[in-house]
Structure 1
Amino acid sequence: MSMRPSAKGTIPFGEHRTWYRITGEVGSGKPALVLLHGGPGSTHDYLLSMAGLADSGFPVVHYDQIGNGGSTHLPDRGADFWTVRLFLDQLDGLLQGLGIADDYVLFGHSWGGMLAARHAADRPAGLRGLVIANSPASYPLWLQEMEGLRAQLPPGVDEVLRRHETAGTTDSEEYAAAVQVFLEKHVCRVKPWPRDYMATHYEVYNDPTVYLTMNGPSEFHVIGTLRDWSVVDRCPDIAVPTLLLSGRYDEATPATVQPFHDLIPDVRWEVFEHSSHSPHIEEPERFGEVMRDFLAKLA
Protein backbone atom coordinates (compact mmCIF):
# COMPACT_ATOMS: atom_id res chain seq x y z
CA MET A 1 0.00 0.00 0.00
CA SER A 2 1.26 3.47 -0.74
CA MET A 3 1.88 5.64 2.30
CA ARG A 4 0.17 9.00 2.63
CA PRO A 5 2.22 11.87 1.22
CA SER A 6 3.65 14.41 3.66
CA ALA A 7 3.60 17.07 0.94
CA LYS A 8 2.37 17.50 -2.60
CA GLY A 9 2.05 20.42 -4.97
CA THR A 10 3.69 22.06 -7.93
CA ILE A 11 6.83 24.15 -8.35
CA PRO A 12 7.68 26.45 -11.26
CA PHE A 13 9.75 25.15 -14.16
CA GLY A 14 10.31 28.18 -16.37
CA GLU A 15 6.81 29.22 -17.44
CA HIS A 16 5.55 25.71 -16.70
CA ARG A 17 4.88 23.69 -13.52
CA THR A 18 6.27 20.45 -12.15
CA TRP A 19 3.92 18.33 -10.00
CA TYR A 20 5.52 16.49 -7.10
CA ARG A 21 4.62 14.33 -4.10
CA ILE A 22 6.83 13.63 -1.05
CA THR A 23 6.45 10.73 1.39
CA GLY A 24 8.46 11.10 4.60
CA GLU A 25 10.36 14.12 5.87
CA VAL A 26 12.92 15.96 3.74
CA GLY A 27 15.89 17.04 5.85
CA SER A 28 15.52 14.21 8.33
CA GLY A 29 19.17 13.23 7.92
CA LYS A 30 18.93 10.79 5.03
CA PRO A 31 19.10 11.64 1.31
CA ALA A 32 15.84 12.02 -0.63
CA LEU A 33 15.05 9.19 -3.04
CA VAL A 34 13.86 10.82 -6.27
CA LEU A 35 11.93 8.63 -8.71
CA LEU A 36 12.12 9.18 -12.48
CA HIS A 37 9.27 7.44 -14.30
CA GLY A 38 9.49 5.88 -17.73
CA GLY A 39 7.91 6.66 -21.07
CA PRO A 40 8.99 9.16 -22.05
CA GLY A 41 5.49 10.48 -21.55
CA SER A 42 4.46 8.19 -18.70
CA THR A 43 3.48 9.34 -15.16
CA HIS A 44 4.45 8.70 -11.54
CA ASP A 45 1.33 6.60 -10.77
CA TYR A 46 2.74 3.15 -11.56
CA LEU A 47 5.63 3.79 -9.14
CA LEU A 48 3.37 4.79 -6.22
CA SER A 49 4.03 1.59 -4.26
CA MET A 50 7.63 2.78 -3.86
CA ALA A 51 6.37 5.38 -1.37
CA GLY A 52 6.65 2.50 1.11
CA LEU A 53 10.45 2.84 1.02
CA ALA A 54 10.05 6.00 3.11
CA ASP A 55 9.76 3.72 6.14
CA SER A 56 13.52 3.18 5.86
CA GLY A 57 14.03 6.88 6.63
CA PHE A 58 14.67 8.06 3.08
CA PRO A 59 12.02 10.58 1.98
CA VAL A 60 10.57 9.44 -1.36
CA VAL A 61 9.90 12.02 -4.08
CA HIS A 62 7.55 11.24 -6.98
CA TYR A 63 7.10 13.75 -9.78
CA ASP A 64 5.54 13.93 -13.22
CA GLN A 65 7.80 14.80 -16.12
CA ILE A 66 6.77 17.79 -18.20
CA GLY A 67 3.94 17.11 -20.64
CA ASN A 68 2.19 14.52 -18.48
CA GLY A 69 0.22 13.80 -15.31
CA GLY A 70 -0.04 16.74 -12.91
CA SER A 71 2.73 18.73 -14.62
CA THR A 72 2.07 21.19 -17.46
CA HIS A 73 0.69 19.57 -20.63
CA LEU A 74 1.87 21.05 -23.95
CA PRO A 75 0.07 19.09 -26.70
CA ASP A 76 0.80 21.75 -29.32
CA ARG A 77 4.59 21.69 -29.00
CA GLY A 78 6.56 20.11 -31.84
CA ALA A 79 9.38 17.58 -31.78
CA ASP A 80 12.05 20.29 -31.39
CA PHE A 81 10.64 21.18 -27.94
CA TRP A 82 10.76 17.65 -26.48
CA THR A 83 14.48 17.14 -25.90
CA VAL A 84 16.51 15.19 -23.37
CA ARG A 85 17.88 18.54 -22.16
CA LEU A 86 14.34 19.71 -21.32
CA PHE A 87 13.88 16.77 -18.95
CA LEU A 88 17.36 17.16 -17.44
CA ASP A 89 16.59 20.83 -16.76
CA GLN A 90 13.25 19.91 -15.21
CA LEU A 91 14.98 17.44 -12.88
CA ASP A 92 17.54 20.09 -11.85
CA GLY A 93 14.69 22.53 -11.19
CA LEU A 94 12.91 19.96 -9.02
CA LEU A 95 16.03 19.22 -6.94
CA GLN A 96 16.68 22.94 -6.40
CA GLY A 97 13.03 23.80 -5.81
CA LEU A 98 12.57 21.13 -3.14
CA GLY A 99 15.90 22.00 -1.51
CA ILE A 100 17.35 18.51 -1.93
CA ALA A 101 20.05 19.15 -4.55
CA ASP A 102 22.81 18.70 -1.96
CA ASP A 103 21.72 15.23 -0.79
CA TYR A 104 19.72 12.80 -2.95
CA VAL A 105 19.61 9.38 -4.59
CA LEU A 106 18.07 8.79 -8.03
CA PHE A 107 15.91 5.84 -9.06
CA GLY A 108 15.18 5.83 -12.79
CA HIS A 109 12.86 3.31 -14.40
CA SER A 110 13.07 2.48 -18.13
CA TRP A 111 13.54 5.79 -20.02
CA GLY A 112 13.86 7.36 -16.55
CA GLY A 113 16.92 5.18 -15.95
CA MET A 114 18.63 6.53 -19.06
CA LEU A 115 17.72 10.07 -17.97
CA ALA A 116 19.07 9.42 -14.45
CA ALA A 117 22.30 7.96 -15.89
CA ARG A 118 22.77 11.01 -18.10
CA HIS A 119 22.21 13.30 -15.08
CA ALA A 120 24.66 11.28 -12.97
CA ALA A 121 27.33 11.42 -15.68
CA ASP A 122 27.72 15.17 -15.04
CA ARG A 123 28.77 14.27 -11.46
CA PRO A 124 26.41 16.53 -9.50
CA ALA A 125 27.90 17.15 -6.04
CA GLY A 126 24.78 16.14 -4.08
CA LEU A 127 24.13 12.78 -5.79
CA ARG A 128 24.80 9.89 -3.39
CA GLY A 129 23.70 6.86 -5.40
CA LEU A 130 21.91 5.71 -8.55
CA VAL A 131 19.45 2.94 -9.37
CA ILE A 132 18.95 2.16 -13.07
CA ALA A 133 15.90 -0.08 -13.27
CA ASN A 134 14.78 -1.97 -16.39
CA SER A 135 16.58 0.44 -18.69
CA PRO A 136 18.48 0.04 -21.94
CA ALA A 137 21.76 1.91 -22.31
CA SER A 138 20.86 2.85 -25.89
CA TYR A 139 17.84 2.93 -28.16
CA PRO A 140 19.67 1.39 -31.16
CA LEU A 141 20.55 -1.56 -28.90
CA TRP A 142 16.94 -1.70 -27.66
CA LEU A 143 15.59 -1.84 -31.22
CA GLN A 144 18.08 -4.54 -32.18
CA GLU A 145 16.94 -6.68 -29.23
CA MET A 146 13.26 -6.00 -29.95
CA GLU A 147 13.60 -7.96 -33.19
CA GLY A 148 14.30 -11.10 -31.16
CA LEU A 149 11.45 -10.51 -28.70
CA ARG A 150 9.00 -9.88 -31.55
CA ALA A 151 10.05 -13.08 -33.29
CA GLN A 152 9.16 -15.03 -30.11
CA LEU A 153 5.60 -13.70 -29.83
CA PRO A 154 2.76 -16.19 -30.45
CA PRO A 155 2.21 -17.10 -34.13
CA GLY A 156 0.75 -14.30 -36.22
CA VAL A 157 1.12 -11.49 -33.67
CA ASP A 158 4.25 -9.90 -35.15
CA GLU A 159 2.72 -10.19 -38.61
CA VAL A 160 -0.28 -8.10 -37.47
CA LEU A 161 2.05 -5.55 -35.84
CA ARG A 162 4.22 -5.15 -38.92
CA ARG A 163 1.22 -4.87 -41.23
CA HIS A 164 -0.07 -1.87 -39.29
CA GLU A 165 3.39 -0.33 -38.85
CA THR A 166 3.94 -0.48 -42.61
CA ALA A 167 0.48 0.93 -43.35
CA GLY A 168 0.76 3.65 -40.70
CA THR A 169 -2.39 2.36 -38.95
CA THR A 170 -0.83 1.91 -35.50
CA ASP A 171 -3.84 3.70 -33.96
CA SER A 172 -6.11 0.78 -34.88
CA GLU A 173 -7.73 -1.54 -32.32
CA GLU A 174 -6.15 -4.59 -33.96
CA TYR A 175 -2.67 -3.09 -33.46
CA ALA A 176 -3.47 -2.23 -29.82
CA ALA A 177 -4.63 -5.80 -29.16
CA ALA A 178 -1.41 -7.21 -30.65
CA VAL A 179 0.68 -4.76 -28.59
CA GLN A 180 -1.14 -5.99 -25.47
CA VAL A 181 0.19 -9.52 -26.07
CA PHE A 182 3.72 -8.11 -25.93
CA LEU A 183 3.01 -5.95 -22.85
CA GLU A 184 1.62 -8.88 -20.84
CA LYS A 185 4.73 -10.91 -21.63
CA HIS A 186 7.53 -8.33 -21.36
CA VAL A 187 6.24 -5.26 -19.47
CA CYS A 188 4.00 -6.37 -16.61
CA ARG A 189 3.11 -10.02 -16.02
CA VAL A 190 0.71 -9.41 -13.12
CA LYS A 191 -2.92 -10.02 -14.10
CA PRO A 192 -5.06 -8.05 -13.92
CA TRP A 193 -2.83 -4.98 -14.02
CA PRO A 194 -2.89 -3.16 -10.66
CA ARG A 195 -4.81 0.11 -10.35
CA ASP A 196 -1.69 2.32 -10.10
CA TYR A 197 -0.33 0.73 -13.26
CA MET A 198 -3.62 1.25 -15.11
CA ALA A 199 -3.71 4.89 -13.96
CA THR A 200 -0.45 5.58 -15.81
CA HIS A 201 -1.78 3.71 -18.85
CA TYR A 202 -4.87 5.96 -18.97
CA GLU A 203 -2.79 9.11 -18.53
CA VAL A 204 -0.63 8.23 -21.54
CA TYR A 205 -3.74 7.38 -23.55
CA ASN A 206 -5.31 10.75 -22.68
CA ASP A 207 -2.24 12.75 -23.74
CA PRO A 208 0.25 10.70 -25.77
CA THR A 209 2.10 13.81 -27.08
CA VAL A 210 5.46 13.06 -25.45
CA TYR A 211 5.36 9.29 -25.97
CA LEU A 212 4.43 9.50 -29.65
CA THR A 213 6.94 12.30 -30.34
CA MET A 214 9.97 10.90 -28.54
CA ASN A 215 9.30 7.15 -28.61
CA GLY A 216 6.69 6.22 -31.22
CA PRO A 217 3.44 4.25 -31.33
CA SER A 218 4.67 1.29 -29.26
CA GLU A 219 7.55 -0.03 -27.15
CA PHE A 220 9.14 -1.82 -30.09
CA HIS A 221 8.31 0.57 -32.96
CA VAL A 222 10.58 3.42 -31.90
CA ILE A 223 10.41 5.97 -34.71
CA GLY A 224 10.48 9.06 -32.47
CA THR A 225 13.24 11.55 -31.73
CA LEU A 226 15.02 9.19 -29.28
CA ARG A 227 15.58 6.41 -31.81
CA ASP A 228 19.33 7.12 -32.02
CA TRP A 229 19.87 8.23 -28.41
CA SER A 230 22.38 6.45 -26.19
CA VAL A 231 24.06 7.03 -22.82
CA VAL A 232 26.76 4.40 -23.40
CA ASP A 233 29.49 6.99 -24.01
CA ARG A 234 28.74 8.69 -20.66
CA CYS A 235 28.60 5.58 -18.45
CA PRO A 236 32.30 5.74 -17.45
CA ASP A 237 31.64 9.25 -16.03
CA ILE A 238 29.17 7.97 -13.40
CA ALA A 239 30.99 8.23 -10.06
CA VAL A 240 28.42 7.05 -7.49
CA PRO A 241 27.49 3.53 -6.34
CA THR A 242 25.04 2.19 -8.92
CA LEU A 243 22.47 -0.61 -8.74
CA LEU A 244 21.15 -2.16 -11.95
CA LEU A 245 17.81 -3.97 -11.89
CA SER A 246 16.23 -6.07 -14.62
CA GLY A 247 13.71 -8.87 -14.99
CA ARG A 248 14.21 -12.31 -16.53
CA TYR A 249 11.41 -11.58 -19.05
CA ASP A 250 12.21 -7.87 -19.38
CA GLU A 251 11.81 -5.97 -22.63
CA ALA A 252 15.10 -4.41 -21.50
CA THR A 253 17.04 -7.59 -22.32
CA PRO A 254 20.46 -8.39 -20.77
CA ALA A 255 22.21 -7.14 -23.92
CA THR A 256 20.62 -3.69 -23.51
CA VAL A 257 21.70 -3.47 -19.84
CA GLN A 258 25.22 -4.89 -20.32
CA PRO A 259 26.93 -1.57 -21.24
CA PHE A 260 25.91 -0.12 -17.85
CA HIS A 261 27.48 -3.13 -16.14
CA ASP A 262 30.63 -3.01 -18.26
CA LEU A 263 31.27 0.74 -18.08
CA ILE A 264 30.01 2.16 -14.77
CA PRO A 265 32.91 1.85 -12.29
CA ASP A 266 30.99 1.00 -9.07
CA VAL A 267 28.05 -1.17 -10.13
CA ARG A 268 26.13 -4.32 -9.27
CA TRP A 269 23.30 -6.01 -11.16
CA GLU A 270 20.28 -7.78 -9.67
CA VAL A 271 18.06 -9.89 -11.93
CA PHE A 272 14.48 -10.61 -10.83
CA GLU A 273 13.70 -14.17 -11.93
CA HIS A 274 9.90 -13.83 -11.92
CA SER A 275 9.62 -10.34 -13.43
CA SER A 276 9.54 -8.59 -16.74
CA HIS A 277 9.78 -4.77 -16.88
CA SER A 278 8.09 -4.00 -13.53
CA PRO A 279 9.72 -5.90 -10.64
CA HIS A 280 8.44 -3.33 -8.13
CA ILE A 281 4.95 -4.66 -9.01
CA GLU A 282 5.82 -8.23 -10.03
CA GLU A 283 8.12 -9.12 -7.10
CA PRO A 284 7.40 -6.38 -4.55
CA GLU A 285 8.90 -8.14 -1.53
CA ARG A 286 12.23 -8.95 -3.09
CA PHE A 287 12.26 -5.53 -4.79
CA GLY A 288 11.81 -3.86 -1.39
CA GLU A 289 14.61 -5.96 0.13
CA VAL A 290 17.05 -5.16 -2.68
CA MET A 291 16.26 -1.43 -2.55
CA ARG A 292 16.47 -1.20 1.26
CA ASP A 293 19.78 -3.06 1.23
CA PHE A 294 21.22 -0.66 -1.38
CA LEU A 295 19.96 2.42 0.48
CA ALA A 296 21.27 1.15 3.83
CA LYS A 297 24.75 0.71 2.35
CA LEU A 298 24.65 4.26 0.97
CA ALA A 299 23.64 5.65 4.36
Structure 2
Amino acid sequence: MPQYTTPIATEGEVDFEVPGTNKPCKTWYKVFGDLSSGRRPLVALHGGPGAVHDYLLTLTYLTRIHGIPLVLYDQLGNGRSTHLPEKKGDAAFWTDDLFIAELENLLQHLGIQDDYDLYGHSWGGMLGGRFAIRQPPGLKRLIIANAPATINKHEAEGTTDDKDYQDAVMCFYRRYVCRIEPWPREVSKVFESIEQDPTVYSTMIGPSEFFVTGSLKNWTLLGGGHLHNIKAPTLLLNGRFDEAQDSVMCPFFRDIPNVQWHTFKNSSHMPHHEEREEFMEVVSNFLLREAVVSA
Protein backbone atom coordinates (compact mmCIF):
# COMPACT_ATOMS: atom_id res chain seq x y z
CA MET A 1 0.00 0.00 0.00
CA PRO A 2 1.42 3.45 -0.87
CA GLN A 3 2.49 5.81 1.87
CA TYR A 4 -0.02 8.46 2.89
CA THR A 5 -0.14 11.50 5.11
CA THR A 6 -1.88 11.15 8.46
CA PRO A 7 -5.01 13.36 8.49
CA ILE A 8 -5.04 16.51 10.59
CA ALA A 9 -6.18 15.63 14.09
CA THR A 10 -7.30 17.29 17.28
CA GLU A 11 -6.55 15.89 20.70
CA GLY A 12 -7.87 16.51 24.17
CA GLU A 13 -8.70 15.09 27.56
CA VAL A 14 -12.03 14.39 29.20
CA ASP A 15 -12.54 14.23 32.96
CA PHE A 16 -13.53 10.76 34.10
CA GLU A 17 -14.92 10.33 37.59
CA VAL A 18 -13.70 7.01 38.92
CA PRO A 19 -15.03 5.64 42.22
CA GLY A 20 -12.34 4.25 44.50
CA THR A 21 -9.62 6.71 43.49
CA ASN A 22 -8.37 9.69 45.43
CA LYS A 23 -7.21 11.76 42.48
CA PRO A 24 -8.83 13.27 39.39
CA CYS A 25 -8.73 11.02 36.32
CA LYS A 26 -8.69 11.91 32.65
CA THR A 27 -9.02 10.00 29.38
CA TRP A 28 -6.76 11.24 26.60
CA TYR A 29 -8.16 11.03 23.06
CA LYS A 30 -7.39 12.05 19.50
CA VAL A 31 -9.94 12.71 16.74
CA PHE A 32 -8.93 12.38 13.09
CA GLY A 33 -11.24 14.12 10.65
CA ASP A 34 -14.38 16.14 11.33
CA LEU A 35 -17.03 14.80 13.70
CA SER A 36 -19.55 17.26 12.21
CA SER A 37 -18.98 16.12 8.62
CA GLY A 38 -22.11 13.94 8.48
CA ARG A 39 -20.02 10.78 8.21
CA ARG A 40 -20.53 8.33 11.04
CA PRO A 41 -17.40 8.22 13.25
CA LEU A 42 -15.46 5.08 14.06
CA VAL A 43 -14.32 4.69 17.69
CA ALA A 44 -11.39 2.30 18.19
CA LEU A 45 -10.69 0.26 21.34
CA HIS A 46 -7.05 -0.79 21.66
CA GLY A 47 -5.88 -4.13 22.97
CA GLY A 48 -3.93 -5.23 26.00
CA PRO A 49 -5.42 -4.60 28.42
CA GLY A 50 -2.58 -2.24 29.14
CA ALA A 51 -1.55 -1.27 25.60
CA VAL A 52 -1.82 2.15 23.91
CA HIS A 53 -3.58 3.51 20.84
CA ASP A 54 -0.48 4.00 18.66
CA TYR A 55 -0.53 0.66 16.82
CA LEU A 56 -4.05 1.48 15.55
CA LEU A 57 -2.90 4.65 13.77
CA THR A 58 -3.09 2.71 10.50
CA LEU A 59 -6.88 3.15 10.75
CA THR A 60 -6.40 6.81 9.80
CA TYR A 61 -6.35 5.52 6.22
CA LEU A 62 -10.14 5.27 6.53
CA THR A 63 -10.27 8.97 7.33
CA ARG A 64 -7.98 10.05 4.53
CA ILE A 65 -9.51 7.92 1.78
CA HIS A 66 -13.15 7.66 2.85
CA GLY A 67 -13.64 10.66 5.13
CA ILE A 68 -14.61 8.48 8.12
CA PRO A 69 -13.88 10.38 11.35
CA LEU A 70 -11.75 8.26 13.66
CA VAL A 71 -11.53 8.44 17.45
CA LEU A 72 -8.51 6.87 19.14
CA TYR A 73 -7.87 7.00 22.87
CA ASP A 74 -5.70 5.52 25.59
CA GLN A 75 -7.74 3.58 28.12
CA LEU A 76 -7.40 4.49 31.79
CA GLY A 77 -4.07 3.42 33.26
CA ASN A 78 -2.28 3.58 29.90
CA GLY A 79 -0.47 5.97 27.59
CA ARG A 80 -1.43 9.60 28.03
CA SER A 81 -4.48 8.89 30.17
CA THR A 82 -4.26 8.89 33.98
CA HIS A 83 -2.05 6.16 35.39
CA LEU A 84 -3.00 4.45 38.64
CA PRO A 85 0.01 2.36 39.73
CA GLU A 86 -1.43 2.27 43.25
CA LYS A 87 -4.19 0.03 41.84
CA LYS A 88 -1.78 -2.69 40.70
CA GLY A 89 -3.15 -6.06 41.79
CA ASP A 90 -6.60 -4.65 42.55
CA ALA A 91 -8.69 -7.00 40.41
CA ALA A 92 -11.95 -5.59 41.79
CA PHE A 93 -11.02 -2.18 40.36
CA TRP A 94 -9.94 -3.09 36.80
CA THR A 95 -13.21 -4.45 35.40
CA ASP A 96 -15.23 -4.45 32.19
CA ASP A 97 -17.64 -2.02 33.84
CA LEU A 98 -14.84 0.49 34.47
CA PHE A 99 -13.75 0.53 30.83
CA ILE A 100 -17.32 0.59 29.54
CA ALA A 101 -18.07 3.59 31.77
CA GLU A 102 -14.97 5.26 30.36
CA LEU A 103 -16.11 4.61 26.79
CA GLU A 104 -19.60 5.95 27.51
CA ASN A 105 -18.11 9.03 29.14
CA LEU A 106 -15.95 9.71 26.06
CA LEU A 107 -18.88 9.23 23.64
CA GLN A 108 -20.93 11.71 25.64
CA HIS A 109 -18.09 14.23 25.77
CA LEU A 110 -17.62 14.09 21.99
CA GLY A 111 -21.38 14.28 21.40
CA ILE A 112 -21.46 11.13 19.24
CA GLN A 113 -23.28 8.80 21.63
CA ASP A 114 -26.32 8.60 19.31
CA ASP A 115 -24.50 7.55 16.12
CA TYR A 116 -21.13 5.78 15.90
CA ASP A 117 -19.39 2.58 14.82
CA LEU A 118 -17.04 0.62 17.09
CA TYR A 119 -13.80 -1.20 16.25
CA GLY A 120 -12.25 -3.38 18.95
CA HIS A 121 -8.91 -5.14 18.53
CA SER A 122 -7.93 -8.11 20.74
CA TRP A 123 -8.87 -7.09 24.32
CA GLY A 124 -10.67 -4.17 22.69
CA GLY A 125 -12.79 -6.67 20.76
CA MET A 126 -13.65 -8.48 23.99
CA LEU A 127 -14.63 -5.18 25.55
CA GLY A 128 -16.57 -4.15 22.45
CA GLY A 129 -18.54 -7.39 22.54
CA ARG A 130 -19.40 -6.91 26.21
CA PHE A 131 -20.48 -3.34 25.47
CA ALA A 132 -22.59 -4.31 22.43
CA ILE A 133 -24.53 -6.91 24.44
CA ARG A 134 -26.04 -3.98 26.33
CA GLN A 135 -27.55 -2.78 23.03
CA PRO A 136 -26.42 0.85 23.24
CA PRO A 137 -28.82 2.69 20.90
CA GLY A 138 -26.13 4.74 19.15
CA LEU A 139 -24.01 1.76 18.10
CA LYS A 140 -24.63 1.14 14.40
CA ARG A 141 -21.82 -1.26 13.42
CA LEU A 142 -19.39 -3.42 15.40
CA ILE A 143 -16.03 -4.84 14.32
CA ILE A 144 -14.45 -7.52 16.52
CA ALA A 145 -10.89 -7.90 15.32
CA ASN A 146 -8.84 -10.84 16.64
CA ALA A 147 -9.11 -11.94 20.40
CA PRO A 148 -6.75 -13.75 23.00
CA ALA A 149 -5.38 -17.39 23.60
CA THR A 150 -1.77 -20.30 25.91
CA ILE A 151 2.94 -21.61 26.85
CA ASN A 152 4.41 -24.16 29.73
CA LYS A 153 7.74 -24.86 31.64
CA HIS A 154 8.31 -21.53 33.48
CA GLU A 155 4.60 -21.18 34.17
CA ALA A 156 4.61 -24.44 36.10
CA GLU A 157 7.75 -23.45 38.02
CA GLY A 158 6.62 -19.89 38.75
CA THR A 159 9.59 -18.29 36.97
CA THR A 160 7.78 -16.27 34.33
CA ASP A 161 10.17 -13.33 34.86
CA ASP A 162 13.03 -15.52 33.60
CA LYS A 163 14.73 -14.27 30.42
CA ASP A 164 14.18 -17.63 28.70
CA TYR A 165 10.45 -17.33 29.30
CA GLN A 166 10.37 -13.75 28.05
CA ASP A 167 12.35 -14.74 24.96
CA ALA A 168 9.88 -17.56 24.29
CA VAL A 169 6.98 -15.16 24.61
CA MET A 170 8.57 -12.73 22.14
CA CYS A 171 9.26 -15.58 19.72
CA PHE A 172 5.59 -16.50 19.90
CA TYR A 173 4.56 -12.87 19.37
CA ARG A 174 6.71 -12.63 16.24
CA ARG A 175 4.95 -15.65 14.77
CA TYR A 176 1.38 -15.15 15.96
CA VAL A 177 0.99 -11.46 16.86
CA CYS A 178 2.84 -9.56 14.12
CA ARG A 179 4.87 -11.32 11.41
CA ILE A 180 6.44 -8.18 9.93
CA GLU A 181 10.21 -7.91 10.50
CA PRO A 182 11.25 -5.57 11.90
CA TRP A 183 8.12 -4.59 13.74
CA PRO A 184 6.62 -1.20 12.90
CA ARG A 185 7.47 1.37 15.56
CA GLU A 186 3.81 1.60 16.62
CA VAL A 187 3.74 -2.15 17.35
CA SER A 188 6.94 -2.07 19.41
CA LYS A 189 5.49 0.78 21.44
CA VAL A 190 2.68 -1.50 22.66
CA PHE A 191 5.13 -3.75 24.50
CA GLU A 192 7.26 -0.83 25.67
CA SER A 193 4.22 0.81 27.25
CA ILE A 194 3.31 -2.37 29.13
CA GLU A 195 6.89 -2.74 30.38
CA GLN A 196 6.96 0.89 31.56
CA ASP A 197 3.69 0.57 33.51
CA PRO A 198 2.45 -3.03 33.88
CA THR A 199 -0.35 -2.08 36.30
CA VAL A 200 -3.32 -2.88 34.08
CA TYR A 201 -1.79 -5.77 32.12
CA SER A 202 -0.35 -7.62 35.11
CA THR A 203 -3.55 -7.22 37.13
CA MET A 204 -5.96 -8.27 34.39
CA ILE A 205 -3.75 -10.72 32.44
CA GLY A 206 -0.67 -11.79 34.43
CA PRO A 207 2.84 -12.72 33.19
CA SER A 208 1.70 -13.03 29.57
CA GLU A 209 -1.51 -13.53 27.64
CA PHE A 210 -0.55 -17.19 27.32
CA PHE A 211 -0.52 -17.65 31.09
CA VAL A 212 -3.50 -15.73 32.39
CA THR A 213 -3.52 -15.47 36.18
CA GLY A 214 -5.25 -12.10 36.47
CA SER A 215 -8.86 -11.02 36.64
CA LEU A 216 -9.55 -12.05 33.02
CA LYS A 217 -8.65 -15.67 33.74
CA ASN A 218 -12.30 -16.77 33.78
CA TRP A 219 -13.61 -13.97 31.53
CA THR A 220 -16.18 -15.14 29.00
CA LEU A 221 -19.05 -14.00 26.85
CA LEU A 222 -20.32 -17.57 26.61
CA GLY A 223 -23.15 -18.96 28.66
CA GLY A 224 -26.50 -17.36 29.17
CA GLY A 225 -26.94 -16.74 25.47
CA HIS A 226 -25.87 -13.10 25.79
CA LEU A 227 -24.20 -12.82 22.38
CA HIS A 228 -27.55 -13.00 20.62
CA ASN A 229 -28.33 -9.64 22.25
CA ILE A 230 -25.82 -7.93 19.95
CA LYS A 231 -28.11 -6.29 17.40
CA ALA A 232 -25.58 -4.14 15.52
CA PRO A 233 -24.28 -5.62 12.24
CA THR A 234 -20.96 -7.19 13.20
CA LEU A 235 -17.76 -7.95 11.31
CA LEU A 236 -15.31 -10.53 12.69
CA LEU A 237 -11.66 -10.41 11.65
CA ASN A 238 -8.74 -12.72 12.30
CA GLY A 239 -5.63 -14.02 10.56
CA ARG A 240 -4.58 -17.48 9.42
CA PHE A 241 -1.60 -17.39 11.83
CA ASP A 242 -3.46 -15.50 14.54
CA GLU A 243 -3.17 -16.28 18.23
CA ALA A 244 -6.94 -15.79 18.02
CA GLN A 245 -7.61 -18.94 16.04
CA ASP A 246 -10.96 -19.81 14.47
CA SER A 247 -11.95 -21.82 17.55
CA VAL A 248 -12.11 -18.69 19.72
CA MET A 249 -13.95 -16.69 17.06
CA CYS A 250 -16.60 -19.33 16.31
CA PRO A 251 -18.91 -18.45 19.24
CA PHE A 252 -19.21 -14.90 17.93
CA PHE A 253 -20.06 -16.20 14.48
CA ARG A 254 -22.48 -18.79 15.81
CA ASP A 255 -24.44 -16.59 18.20
CA ILE A 256 -24.45 -13.01 16.88
CA PRO A 257 -27.52 -12.70 14.61
CA ASN A 258 -26.18 -10.31 11.94
CA VAL A 259 -22.54 -11.27 11.46
CA GLN A 260 -19.92 -11.86 8.80
CA TRP A 261 -16.35 -13.12 9.10
CA HIS A 262 -13.15 -12.48 7.16
CA THR A 263 -9.84 -14.28 7.71
CA PHE A 264 -6.65 -12.76 6.29
CA LYS A 265 -4.59 -15.56 4.80
CA ASN A 266 -1.14 -14.00 5.34
CA SER A 267 -1.70 -12.34 8.72
CA SER A 268 -1.40 -13.16 12.38
CA HIS A 269 -2.87 -10.85 15.06
CA MET A 270 -2.42 -7.49 13.32
CA PRO A 271 -3.76 -7.60 9.75
CA HIS A 272 -4.12 -3.82 9.85
CA HIS A 273 -0.31 -3.83 9.59
CA GLU A 274 0.40 -7.19 7.93
CA GLU A 275 -2.11 -6.99 5.05
CA ARG A 276 -2.99 -3.35 5.25
CA GLU A 277 -4.46 -2.90 1.78
CA GLU A 278 -6.86 -5.84 2.01
CA PHE A 279 -7.73 -4.94 5.60
CA MET A 280 -8.73 -1.39 4.67
CA GLU A 281 -10.82 -2.63 1.76
CA VAL A 282 -12.70 -5.15 3.92
CA VAL A 283 -13.31 -2.70 6.78
CA SER A 284 -14.31 0.25 4.60
CA ASN A 285 -16.71 -1.91 2.57
CA PHE A 286 -18.36 -3.03 5.80
CA LEU A 287 -18.62 0.44 7.31
CA LEU A 288 -19.88 2.12 4.13
CA ARG A 289 -22.21 -0.57 2.84
CA GLU A 290 -25.58 1.03 3.69
CA ALA A 291 -24.87 4.73 3.53
CA VAL A 292 -22.02 7.18 3.82
CA VAL A 293 -24.18 9.85 5.44
CA SER A 294 -25.45 9.28 8.96
CA ALA A 295 -29.15 9.86 9.63
Map 1:1-299 to 2 at 5 A. Answer: 1=4, 3-14=6-17, 15-55=24-64, 56-77=66-87, 78-135=90-147, 142=149, 146=150, 150=151, 162-232=152-222, 233-299=225-291
Q: Write the distance in 1 (CA, Å) between the matches of 2:109 and 2:157.
A: 46
5+ long unaligned stretches in structure 1: 137-141, 151-161
Q: Partner amino acid for 1:254? A: D
2:91–2:204 Cα contact (<8 Å) kept? yes
**Equivalent-residue separation in structure 1 for 2:184 and 2:51 (angstroms):** 16
Structure-1 separation of matches of 2:15 and 2:272: 30
Distance 2:38 2:7 in 1: 20
Structure 2: 5+ residue stretches without partners? 18-23
Q: One-letter code of the match for 2:51?
A: S
CA distance in structure 1 between the aligned counterparts of 2:85 and 2:250, rounded to whole angstroms: 35
Task: Give RMSD over aligned pairs.
Answer: 1.2
Number of equivalences? 277
Residue identity over aligned pairs, in percent, reads 49
- Residues 155-185 of structure 1: per-residue CA shift (max 9 Å, x gap): xxxxxxx332223221222211111111011
Local SS of the residue matching 1:76: helix
Q: Distance in 2 between matches of 1:197 and 1:235?
A: 30
CA distance change for structure 1 residues 248 and 33 in 2, over 3 Å: closer, same or farther? Answer: same
TM-score, structure 2 normalization: 0.91
- Contact 1:46–1:197 (Cα < 8 Å) also in 2: yes
TM-score (norm 1): 0.90
Give yes or no for contact 2:7–2:63 (8 Å, CA) kept in 1.
no
Partners of 1:43 and 1:65 within 8 A in 2: yes
Q: Is 1:37–1:109's contact at 8 Å kept on the other side of the alignment?
A: yes
Partner of 2:21: none
